[in-house]
Amino acid sequence: MTLTMRDAQTWEQMWLPLWPLASDDLRAGIYRTARKDARGKRYIEANPRALSNLLVVDVDHEDALMRALWDRHDWLPNAVVENPANGHAHAVWALAEPVTRTEYAQRKPLAFAAAVTEGLRRSVDGDAAYSGLITKNPEHGSWHTSWTSDRLYSLGELASRLEEAGHMPAPAWRRSRRQNPVGLGRNCSIFETARHWAYREAKRIRQRHEHATAEDSRDYYAAVLAHVHELNAAFSEPLPANEARDIAASIHRWVTTRFYGWTDARTVQQASLSTLQAARGRQSGAKRRNAVEERARLIVGEDA
């Protein structure tokens, strides 16, 4: 399909990767290439490694286009990229504000984006196993691309429409998806699992010195990175290695600058010890007072 000038400009603005993964044949592998070369490939990486602004759903049905457009006049996908041989398609919604996938402080928007993507998938009965990493290139002649909207959406706007249509997953879905996550859910799952472990590891390493040293920081990053890679390797389709490294770096950066167990480890330990000793002292004192009072009652009883 030949793109109009307007379509090409729209896609140029929506598609953000500068050095994307791309391929003409997925069986032969996918490789990083310059953006200008990737635009000539059949398959391309949907988002850059640190951001997500395109929510892509794989619609493996012969009537994929109709499913993507049906009964959603004010939240149409921006593009539906269809395989003319079987009618299967990728439906793409573009966000006005990209969601970061690597910053510790921005985890809630990422989890929200994962839930919205799941809602979009449910709305078309899309493939639940699709990772969202690679998408059909809407500029390539192998596909039939329908440009259906140039509107950029907010997550809240899409979530509202999905709620009204009954497709938005319940909050419990986020917890259950940690068992077998895909797409943005893999990033969320690794982060949530790794961060709890990382707090404990930070406390362990920080007990080595009164003040955190460069060696402590290096050892801690190496430990977090190894743990993240271990979690990632358990997925049938792991995250790219650089995205796993970004998760580890985000956790390391946050913990070593914000977590009191790292920045004030000895102070916290001493304070905790003092608090514990004070509590034990109060408990011991109370026991002594109770014993004295009981003894006094016995003496009074004997005198009577």
pLDDT band at residue 177 under the 50/70/90 scheme = low
Distances (CA, A) of 120 to 47, 62, 127, 142, 282: 17, 18, 11, 25, 58
Range scoring the smallest mean pLDDT among 20-34, 51-65, 174-188, 268-282: 268-282
pLDDT band at residue 186 under the 50/70/90 scheme = confident
Give the residue-averaged pLDDT of 89-113: 88
pLDDT for the residue numbered 116: 96
pLDDT band at residue 178 under the 50/70/90 scheme = low
Tell me if 174 sits within 8 A of 32, measured CB to CB: no
Give the residue-averaged pLDDT of 132-152: 94
pLDDT(155) > 60: yes
DSSP label at residue 145? E
pLDDT for the residue numbered 290: 65
Of 92, 88, 69, nearest to 144 by C-alpha is 88
pLDDT for the residue numbered 156: 96
Of 166, 153, 146, nearest to 74 by C-alpha is 153
pLDDT for the residue numbered 207: 87
pLDDT for the residue numbered 260: 82
pLDDT(88) > 90: yes
pLDDT for the residue numbered 272: 47
State the helix-helix crossing angle for 184-206 and 241-258, rounded to 10 degrees.
Answer: 40
pLDDT(122) > 50: yes
Question: Structure pTM?
Answer: 0.72
250-286 pLDDT, tens digit per residue, is 999 989 998 888 877 555 455 444 554 565 666 665 6
CATH architecture of 184-263: Orthogonal Bundle (1.10)
pLDDT(4) > 80: no
In this structure, are strands 134-136 and 89-100 parallel, antiparallel, or unpaired? unpaired
- Average pLDDT, rounded, for the chain: 85
Give the residue-averaged pLDDT of 15-40: 94
pLDDT band at residue 236 under the 50/70/90 scheme = confident
pLDDT band at residue 136 under the 50/70/90 scheme = very high
pLDDT(107) > 80: no
pLDDT band at residue 188 under the 50/70/90 scheme = confident
Between CA 283 and CA 271 the distance in angstroms is 18
